[in-house]
């Protein structure tokens, strides 16, 4: 078999014209080292996701019905600015470019960017969230709908620390949901950056900044667990209406909310 392979190689070389042979040069190791995929991988994404039902089962179950993820299909997000912040109105999650690179130190970097100079618009909606078991069923959440803008997102897996670092800039224009078992409803929930001023709105101050690390760490029983460290969360939050028993009891606002140095461990029991 080795002889056959060498013969085939010789025939192939023999068939190459002399002019082309003159251009064939031996590559040394330094030249070979430069022939790499240094530009990384880019993915342009357009999608819409629908799930009839998501079920998590322990002894009982949590069911989330009618899950939909796509575009907001609007051009009037944060209307106080009188700007189209997200381009065309579609019901697909689009205008997304995902750059994937592996750095020289081995770190994996996934960077989410808009294709054009617009924010990425996002709509997430669900139906009823039901707890079910032998004792019956309770609807804990219903009629969830959120319209948001994403300015950026970066995931970095650090080989030196074995941590996944996640950063994003996000603004919620409108979020509504009901909590039926408490007779509670939330209307016109809005989240922006901590320096965003409704009276003098600026696009660059619109987004709330979130940064967190995910890694493994021992819990109190020295069992490895999923650790989530919230490094930074800074935002202004406004709720247009709090509904109790079908009647509005007013609005709420949290100005310059900052959550830092917060850690939690997640594990089974």
Going residue by residue through the chain (269 aa), what tens digit of pLDDT does each one get?
A: 444 444 444 444 444 454 444 444 554 555 544 544 456 899 999 999 999 999 999 999 999 999 999 999 999 999 999 999 998 899 999 999 999 999 999 999 999 988 888 899 999 999 999 999 998 999 999 999 999 999 999 999 999 999 999 999 999 999 999 999 999 999 999 999 999 999 999 998 999 999 999 999 999 999 999 999 999 999 999 999 999 999 999 999 999 999 988 999 999 98
SS3 87: coil
pLDDT tens, position by position, 167-194? 999 999 999 999 999 999 999 999 999 9
CB 145 within 8 A of CB 176: yes
Measured distance CA(56)–CA(133) in Å, rounded: 12
CB 64 within 8 A of CB 53: yes
61 alpha-carbon distance from chain centroid: 26
Helices (H), the chain: 2-14, 18-21, 29-33
Q: What is the dihedral of CA 186, 148, 144, 243, to 10 degrees?
A: 10
CB 97 within 8 A of CB 113: yes
**144: closest CA among 34, 31, 37, 54?**
54
pLDDT tens, position by position, 219-264? 999 999 999 999 999 999 999 999 999 999 999 999 999 998 899 9
β-strands 93-102, 120-126 pairing: unpaired
List the domain boundaries for the chain: 45-266
**208: closest CA among 199, 196, 221?**
196
Residue 6 φ then ψ, to 5°: -65, -35
Measured distance CA(67)–CA(15) in Å, rounded: 61
Structure tokens at 64: 């989330």
CB 197 within 8 A of CB 205: yes
Q: What angle do CA 228, 231, 236 make, to 5 degrees?
A: 115
**166: closest CA among 158, 177, 176?**
158
CB 201 within 8 A of CB 193: no
């Amino acid at each position: 078999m080795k002889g056959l392979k060498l013969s085939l190689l010789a025939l192939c070389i023999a068939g190459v014209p002399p002019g082309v042979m003159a251009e064939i040069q031996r590559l040394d190791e330094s030249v070979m080292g430069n022939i790499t995929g240094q530009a990384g991988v880019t993915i342009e994404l357009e999608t819409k996701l629908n799930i009839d039902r998501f079920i998590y089962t322990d002894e009982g179950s949590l069911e989330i019905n009618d899950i939909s993820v796509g575009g907001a299909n609007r051009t009037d997000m944060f209307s106080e600015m009188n700007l189209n912040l997200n381009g065309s109105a579609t019901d697909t999650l689009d205008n997304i470019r995902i750059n994937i690179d592996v750095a020289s130190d081995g770190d994996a970097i996934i960077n989410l960017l808009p294709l054009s100079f617009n924010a990425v618009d996002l709509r997430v909606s669900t139906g009823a969230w039901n707890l079910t078991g032998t004792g019956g069923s309770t609807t804990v959440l219903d009629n969830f709908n959120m319209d948001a803008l994403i300015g950026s997102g970066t995931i970095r897996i650090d080989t030196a620390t074995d941590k996944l670092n996640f950063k994003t800039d996000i603004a919620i224009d409108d979020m509504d949901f009901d909590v039926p078992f408490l007779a509670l409803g939330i209307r016109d929930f809005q989240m922006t950056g901590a320096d965003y001023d409704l009276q003098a709105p600026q696009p660059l101050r619109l987004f709330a900044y979130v940064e967190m690390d995910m890694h493994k760490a021992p819990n109190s029983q020295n069992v490895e667990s999923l650790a989530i460290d919230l490094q930074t969360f800074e935002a202004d939050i406004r709720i247009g209406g709090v509904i109790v028993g079908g009647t509005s009891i007013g609005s709420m606002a949290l100005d310059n909310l900052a959550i830092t140095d917060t850690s939690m461990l997640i594990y089974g029991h």
